[in-house]
Copies of this chain bind each other. A is one copy, B any other.
Amino acid sequence: MIELNFSNMMEGVIGVSGLPESIIEDFIDKVKGAHKKIEERFWPELAFIDLISQDTPEIKKIAQEVKTESENFLILGIGGSALGSRAILEALSPFHNLQKIPKVFIYDNVDPRTLQQMLAIIDLKTTSVNVISKSGNTAETAAAFMILWDEMKKVLGRDASKRFIATTDPEKGNLRRIVNEEGLKSLAIPQGVVGRYSVLSPVGLLLSEVIGIDSEELLMGAKDIQKKCSDAELWKNPAYLFGTLLYLMDREKHRTIDVMMAYADGLKPFTEWFCQLWAESLGKQGMGLTPYPSVGSTDQHSQLQLWIEGPQDKILIFIRINDYSVDIQIPDVFQNMEGLSYLSGHTLSELIKAEEEATELALVKAGRPSMTITVPQIDAYHMGQLFHFLELATAFTGLLYEMNPFNQPGVEEGKNLTYGIMGKKGFETKRKEVEDHREKRARWRV
């Protein structure tokens, strides 16, 4: 089971930059109220919690077809429809495309260079395309889907439609309509589950099965952490503690950046998944900690200087790996070099763990708080725990801030302005706004 160690957040351990026990005690009742709301599914979007008991046979069946028919598996999606899949892929099947079939490509942008390269590399004849959009209306995903639809038709004719799997709302949206009209294979993202809480729905599980990861393992992990995080008692519930401590660091100590630093290359996309989940859920009403993705020990040579000697505005969240499953010994070479010989006989996992522990303590000594999620090992079961744990913690934190962690009203204006520029009907005044700003914007440049 993953474990949350929050000693380095506490005044008793790290001094004045930490939180006194009493301030957390004072929160117990507020947390009980939030707990009740979660239990009652106060927001319908808390439905993500119930993903842990979903059926997977349909997902497994489609994955089997993909594996049989295809050498390439192309995912079209953006934000919550892509980040979870990438997190699973890189954590559980590193260097996948150099070793395994089907190769996996995730197109989560509208960058023409990227798509042109992908189309040059992959043979569409042996490709399955998974188009993912909860609403079915996302502009970026729609554009990519339209292009792939056309290209696949050119190569496969009528059979092209058999190679598409749409993962979308069970009833609504353009993508569901196309599924019905064209007879595409499809998987439903259950009612209530929104994009950034959907990694353990068919959104992430189909990819898992396609790359040979048993989706039941992910769900089993989620189930087990759900049990641990169902305790109404703050001191016993890691999800509630995670949220409460960050909330208090923000409101009481004015620390507004939460860095998630995972000591594993394969968890880099996982930290980016967390940053989307947290930022889009809790960045509103003028509030919200800024989540920062990071990898150790690499970023000790990038960001650590700023964390240690820069402004007192950050909290570190370390992800410590107990067992890397494999290890490599540092050999007895260059024994005449005093600066190197201390490394001989140790292993890489000893070194990376030493770096993690040393970085924790160096931050403590500089008066910078941190907490640590310890992960027994990087496998599907524990990835399931990590995903579900952080989704629970994020939703819970929304209750503390008294904000809805499931909407994203702030991004609408950008979409509308894009529609204006692209000439979508009804958005003519938005186009006019852009043109007016172009003039003003021409003033200051060099």
Contact = CB atoms under 8 A, between A and B. Distances in A.
Interface residues of A, number: 155
Interface string A21-48: 0000000000000000000000000000
Contacts of A80: 301
A121 B99 contact: yes
5 contacts: A5-B444, A7-B440, A13-B440, A78-B297, A147-B329
B327 A302 contact: no
A311 B287 contact: yes
A269 to B, nearest CB: 11
Interface in A401-441: 408-411, 413-425, 433-434, 437, 440-441
A150 interface: yes
A221 interface: no
A181 to B, nearest CB: 8
A260 to B, nearest CB: 13
B304 A414 contact: yes
A344 interface: yes
Contacts of A116: 326, 328
Interface in A212-270: 235-238, 241, 256-257, 263-266
A8 B443 CA distance: 10
A404 to B, nearest CB: 12
A357 B434 contact: yes
Interface stretch (A59-67, A104-112, A200-208, A392-400): A104-112
Contact of A324 (B99, B111, B314, B410): B111
A192 interface: no
A325 B434 contact: no
Contacts of A174: 334, 337, 339-340
A115 interface: yes
A357 to B, nearest CB: 6
A313 to B, nearest CB: 7
Interface stretch (A50-58, A347-355, A380-388): A347-355
Closest 6 CB pairs of A and B: A283-B306, A79-B301, A358-B417, A308-B410, A283-B310, A276-B302
Nearest to A407: B305
A325 B113 CA distance: 8
Nearest to A338: B425
A445 interface: yes
B288 A290 contact: no
A3 to B, nearest CB: 6
Interface in A267-323: 272, 275-276, 279-280, 282-288, 290, 292, 295-298, 300-314
Given A288-B310, A344-B146, A300 B414 contact: yes
A76 interface: no
Interface in A91-144: 94-95, 97-99, 103, 108-118, 120-121, 137-140, 142-143
Contact of A419 (B149, B297, B342): B342
A336 to B, nearest CB: 8
A4 interface: yes
Contacts of A8: 441
A94 to B, nearest CB: 5
A279 B306 contact: yes
A290 B313 contact: yes
A184 interface: no
A434 B139 contact: no
A155 interface: no
Most buried by B among A313, A413, A415: A413
A150 B331 contact: yes
A178 interface: yes
